[in-house]
Amino acid sequence: MMNFTFTRKTRETMNDKNSTTLYTRRNFLTAGAGLAATAAFSPYVIGRTKAKDKLGVALVGLGYYSTDLLAPALQLTKNCYLAGIVTGTPAKAEAWKEKYKILDKNIYNYQTFDQIANNPDIDVVYVVLPPSMHREYVVRAAKAGKHVWCEKPMAPTVADCKAMIEACEKNKQKLAIGYRNLHDPNMQAWMKLAKEGTLGKPRLVNCAAAYVDNRTTHWKQKKDMGGGVMGDMGVYSIQGARHAIGEEPMLVTAHFFNNRPEIYHEVEETSMYQMHFPSGALSNCTASFGINSNFLKVNYEKGTLMMEPFSSYSGNKGTYSGGVINIPVPLNNQQANQMDDDALAIMQNKPLIAPGEEGMRDIKVVEAIYEAAKTGKEVKIG
């Protein structure tokens, strides 16, 4: 049993299924506590990842997504493994230590987080916290000399995204955004249709990413934590249009709807928005916490693509004029596939499928959508 001593109270808000809770952060790491050195300047740290067959991953924040999806997925990965955790809840630390046989020296809280710089077991820090906390922990991880994976949405603002990208570049660390859907071979197949022009140019996209969320105190319902549907589900419908057309949008119009103001009084519940692309292609998109809908329909000059679902955990299937998109590649777990791809890119020093710049592209559109919904006018995307 680890020795826990009180430090100060702070709020660790995670992707919990039920609510946002106040936790007491305790200084429970007793092994390996030294001064937090800047590991980015250590020759051993810089060369470390190239010599490994697998990368050690530390999950920061042990809410629903880490507990139910990422940790189980890390048991299936080939290029990385669960090496450590960061949590402000001692009981969770004990439970994870027992379940996944995590060493005491690889367990951190938010006060001891920077000491991760001295730990060669950990190569990647995966930030799985509310969006309002992403910038802080991505920057701290980069300064500690660790590669970073950051869950989506990347951050609440473009300014945050830029700071995160700059911190990773300055410290020579790779930054990947947790867009597991971009790693799905089915999505990659329909992205190729736009690039190859199989059905001519795309002219119109209709896309929806939506589900019913009845929670009341989760970060998704809280503005100061980066909540709202646009960051969470909106990035999927934005990507659906962007990648189906193969261009970046020029301008947007948008409207927000809150049918349950008792729950969604700080942030938008439903967003319906339109994007205009340089080629003249248009998109009509929906993101919602009050509607069940997940599809992508693309009208090309010579045919049609229909994907339903198009961004599901269980896999994405569809048809198009001329064939069926259902890639015969085993994909048992999207999160495992995503982390394996990103780990291999780090080890081979190759481009990431979803680097920080990809996350920032979506947040640029999100910011424009908020402005368009507020003003009722067309907004150009800078």
Catalytic residue numbers? Answer: 152, 236
Question: In terms of C-beta distances under 8 Å and separation of at least 24 residues, what long-range contacts does 256-262 make, across chains too?
Answer: 256/373, 259/290, 260/290
Task: Indicate the DSSP class of residue 171.
Answer: T
Sheet holding 147-150, edge to edge: 107-108, 80-86, 55-60, 124-127, 147-150, 175-177
Cα distances (Å, whole numbers) of residue 84 to 62, 97, 185, 289: 11, 9, 29, 33
Q: Does residue 277 contact residue 295 with C-beta atoms inside 8 Å?
A: no
Classify strands 23-27 and 175-177 as parallel, antiparallel or unpaired: unpaired
Rounded to the nearest angstrom, the gap between the alpha carbon of residue 152 and the centroid of all alpha carbons in its chain is 2
Token digits of residue 336: 């495992």
Closest to 171 measured CA to CA, from 70, 39, 289: 39
Q: What are phi and psi of 296, to 5 degrees?
A: -140, 125
The size of the chain, in residues, is 382
CA atoms within 13 A on the CB side of 280: 5
Separation CA 322–CA 303 (nearest Å)? 8
| Residue with token string 């947007």 | 252
The DSSP H or E segment spanning 40 is none
Separation CA 275–CA 205 (nearest Å)? 9
Helices (H), 54-200: 64, 71-74, 90-100, 134-143, 158-170, 185-196
Rounded to the nearest angstrom, the gap between the alpha carbon of residue 206 and the centroid of all alpha carbons in its chain is 23
